[in-house]
Structure 1
Amino acid sequence: MNKLQQVYKATDVGLVRKGNEDNLAVFDAVYAVADGMGGEAAGEVASQMLVDTVRQELSGRENIDAGAMQAAILSANDAIRHYVGEHPGCEGMGTTATLLHIDEGKGRAYWAHVGDSRLYLLRPGQAQLEQLTQDHSYVEDLVREGTITREEAKRHPQRNMLTRAVGAMENLLVDTGELAVAQGDTLLLATDGLMKHMTDEEITRLLQQGAADPAQILVQTALNAGGRDNVTVVVVSLT
């Protein structure tokens, strides 16, 4: 891990769920969060397969970019689908995947993404953090179409329905991107257990407070607000 990247991570099962289907990975300036789905142990297996495959594909590799992370997600997609083929009882399992790599030598950040976990950016002096990824969900499509409002999406009965998930489809589309980063920037990866309980404005205020462990505080805030879901957070600050 690069010494100029201060990293904080936390995950919790929450106050309602019996098991934690979230997973995370932090290695070689690569950061990943994954939120499994499928019920019973299937979601946990899917998210673990995702982070294991990402680590296997990218660990020790030079010149990681968005294309490399996209390829790692597609490898995980194949692995999960193969697993389901051998375990019919796990039909329907899958996972979100949000990956980030920061190359400080180039001053660039690269990301790849599937599902409704998120990647945010907060710059010094910025009034509110910016969501870099787009949710792949049914309600997000309705919001973009203007059919429902952002507030209505939070209460929609199908708000948890994903339109893309790793392992759920043969021809998976992976969103990718890159951007310039600099000293003072903060990047946040989070599963939807955080966003269910905190608005972007609340997350921004907490990150701006400069807490000793912002990831743990974000997770605890979600738990204090009800903890209806597993919640996982990785915060990367460029010092």
Structure 2
Amino acid sequence: MNSVFLTDQGKVRLHNEDAGGVFINQDGNRLAVVADGMGGHRAGDVASGMTLSHLKQEWEASKGITTADVAEKWLMEQISKVNGMLFEHANNHLECDGMGTTIVAAITTDGFAALAHIGDSRGYILNESGFSQITEDHSLVNELVRTGQITKEDAEHHPRKNVLLRALGTERTVEMDIKTITFEEGDILLLCSDGLSNKVSENELAEILVMEVDLTQRASTLITLANDYGGEDNITLTIVEFPKSGKGDV
């Protein structure tokens, strides 16, 4: 299994409120995470940073997460725990009032990937069936598209595009979407913040992911492209690749 994490401030924002990483547990399985923080007075990076720190610590100490059911349960329990931590922190620190973060996280093993997400950070899969989005944005605009009130094309330039219907840490309890997909040789999983998905088309994402260069170069190319297209937001991504037999492990 190969993996990479990259983040970039972008060309407009004064600081980076995104966080992410790929972590390995006691059994050698990976947890990939992208969190896009929000909130005034740099509280967004507090929310995303706390989220990442907790999940990293818990994952690196874990073992025995070898079935989809166990993986989904782990994600639900740990993300719910983080939600409570963020909510209490915001209540106890005035400068963090209203802070929150999106999250998309995936546990990957030789056989499956279990994903959890809240907000509009996304997960994509590239496999023998093609390239597809496997998460659904918890946003006002996506709800308008889903209910037929606007088209997908209208959504691209909607003035309320950034309004979220769900975020981690903004309420005492939170609902998350969890699913498990098959993950096998040749498949590539991409998790990213909207700083990438809002700027780079799905066709371009797919074209870069299959380039015959190493994973770090592919990730760097994606970030460069998002910046070339304006870079108005922080840009964060993780890629996990299940190489075909004969390719090395990174």
Q: Residue 169 of structure 2 aligns with which residue?
A: 167
1:140 aligned counterpart, secondary structure: helix
Q: Residue 219 of structure 2 aligns with which residue?
A: 215
Number of aligned residues: 231
Q: Which one of 228, 234, 238 corresponds to residue 232 of structure 2?
A: 228
1:24 aligned counterpart, secondary structure: strand
Q: CA RMSD in A?
A: 1.1
* 1:135 maps to amino acid: D
* 1:19 maps to amino acid: H
The superposition leaves residues 2-22 of structure 1 with CA deviations (integer Å, 9 ceiling, x where unpaired) of: xxx111221100000000000
Percent identity of equivalent pairs: 37
1:227 aligned counterpart, secondary structure: coil
Question: Are the counterparts in 1 of residues 109 and 183 from structure 2 also a CA contact under 8 Å?
Answer: no
Question: Are the counterparts in 2 of residues 67 and 176 from structure 1 also a CA contact under 8 Å?
Answer: no
Q: Which one of 155, 158, 169 corresponds to residue 157 of structure 2?
A: 155
Cα distance in 1, alignment partners of residues 86 and 34 from structure 2 = 16
Cα distance in 2, alignment partners of residues 191 and 63 from structure 1 = 29
Whether 2:9 is the aligned partner of 1:13: answer: yes
State the 1:211 CA deviation. Answer: 2.7
Question: Are the counterparts in 2 of residues 109 and 178 from structure 1 also a CA contact under 8 Å?
Answer: yes
Whether 2:103 is the aligned partner of 1:97: answer: yes
Cα distance in 1, alignment partners of residues 164 and 136 from structure 2 = 12
TM-score normalised to structure 2 length: 0.89
* 1:81 maps to amino acid: F
State the 1:41 CA deviation. Answer: 1.1
Q: Which runs of 5+ in 2 are unaligned?
A: 25-29, 66-70, 244-250
Q: Residue 60 of structure 1 aligns with which residue?
A: 61
Q: Which one of 182, 190, 193 corresponds to residue 191 of structure 1?
A: 193
The superposition leaves residues 146-199 of structure 1 with CA deviations (integer Å, 9 ceiling, x where unpaired) of: 101111111111100110000011220011011111100000000000011111
Question: Are the counterparts in 2 of residues 9 and 233 from structure 1 also a CA contact under 8 Å?
Answer: yes
Cα distance in 1, alignment partners of residues 55 and 199 from structure 2 = 28
Question: Are the counterparts in 1 of residues 186 and 241 from structure 2 also a CA contact under 8 Å?
Answer: yes
Q: Which runs of 5+ in 1 are unaligned?
A: none
State the 1:114 CA deviation. Answer: 0.6
Q: Residue 26 of structure 1 aligns with which residue?
A: 22
State the 1:92 CA deviation. Answer: 1.2
